[in-house]
C-alpha cells in the first residue's frame, strides 16, 4: 500500500498531478483544494488513496491527511464513489464539509454537482458521528492563501480542461467559465472551477 508520494511536481492541472519520485512518475487524481495547496511548488508530498477495481487502477492524491481521511469517509456512504467524493472536495473545503455535516446543512451539500437530497442526507447521517470520532475537524490546518494569476486565456483553458476531466462537456463548460471570468477577471483557476461546478447542471 502506498501511504504517500514525495518528490518533484512535474505536471499539475486542477484535476491531476504527476509527482516524480526515484525516477517513477506517479499520476494522481486531485481535488481543487489539493491543487490550491500545491500549485507553484517544486517539491510536494501527496497522501495517497489507491482505487483498485477490475477495470481500473487509480491513485488519488491529497495535500493533507485530513483531506484523504474525509475522502475515505465519503466513499463509505452509499451512492458516493471516488469521483463524486473528489467533486465534493473540489467544491467545499474539508472545514466547510465538516461544518455542513455537523450542522445538517443539506442545502450546501446539494449545491455540489451530482449530489441530490437523499445523498446529502445520507452523508450527514452516516458521517456526523464519524467526523467527530476520527478527529478530522480538530486537526484541520489553517487555509493557505493562494496567489491570483494574471487573467488570460490560460486560466480559461485550464478551467475548461479541469471541468472536462471531471466529466463535463467542453462547450457548456467554456460558456460558464467565460461568463465567470467576465464578471470576475481576477479569479484564480481553482475559484473559477468551483464557481462553474455550482452553475453547470
Kindly indicate the confidence band of residue 139, based on its pLDDT and cuts at 50, 70 and 90: low
Buried-state track 115-132, b at ≥16 Cβ within 10 A, e below 16: beeebbebbbebbeeebe
Please check the confidence at residue 145 and state whether its pLDDT lies above 50.
Answer: no
pLDDT at 132: 77
| pLDDT tens, residue by residue, 55-81 | 888 999 999 999 999 999 999 999 999
Q: Where are the alpha helices (DSSP H) in 82-128?
A: 82-91, 94-103, 106-110, 117-127
pLDDT tens track for 115-136: 999 999 999 999 988 887 777 7
Q: Is the predicted pLDDT of residue 150 greater than 80, yes or no?
A: no
Strand partners, 18: 11, 27
Amino acid at each position: 500500500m502506498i501511504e504517500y508520494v514525495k518528490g518533484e511536481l512535474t505536471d499539475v492541472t486542477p484535476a491531476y498531478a504527476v509527482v516524480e519520485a526515484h525516477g517513477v512518475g506517479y499520476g494522481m487524481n486531485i481535488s481543487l483544494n489539493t491543487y490550491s495547496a500545491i500549485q507553484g511548488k517544486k517539491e510536494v508530498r501527496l497522501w495517497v488513496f489507491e482505487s483498485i477495481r477490475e477495470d481500473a487502477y487509480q491513485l488519488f492524491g491529497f495535500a493533507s491527511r485530513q483531506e484523504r481521511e474525509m475522502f475515505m469517509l465519503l466513499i463509505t456512504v452509499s451512492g458516493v464513489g471516488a469521483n463524486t467524493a473528489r467533486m465534493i472536495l473540489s467544491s467545499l473545503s474539508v472545514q466547510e464539509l465538516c461544518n455542513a455535516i455537523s450542522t445538517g446543512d443539506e442545502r450546501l451539500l446539494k449545491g455540489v454537482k451530482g449530489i441530490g437530497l437523499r445523498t446529502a442526507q445520507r452523508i450527514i447521517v452516516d458521517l456526523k458521528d464519524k467526523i467527530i470520532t476520527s478527529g478530522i475537524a480538530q486537526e484541520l490546518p489553517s487555509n493557505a492563501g493562494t496567489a491570483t494569476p494574471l487573467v488570460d486565456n490560460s486560466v480559461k483553458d485550464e478551467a475548461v480542461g479541469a471541468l472536462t476531466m471531471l466529466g463535463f462537456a467542453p462547450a457548456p463548460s467554456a460558456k460558464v467559465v467565460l461568463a465567470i471570468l467576465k464578471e470576475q477577471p481576477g479569479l484564480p483557476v481553482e475559484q473559477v472551477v468551483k464557481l462553474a461546478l455550482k452553475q453547470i447542471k
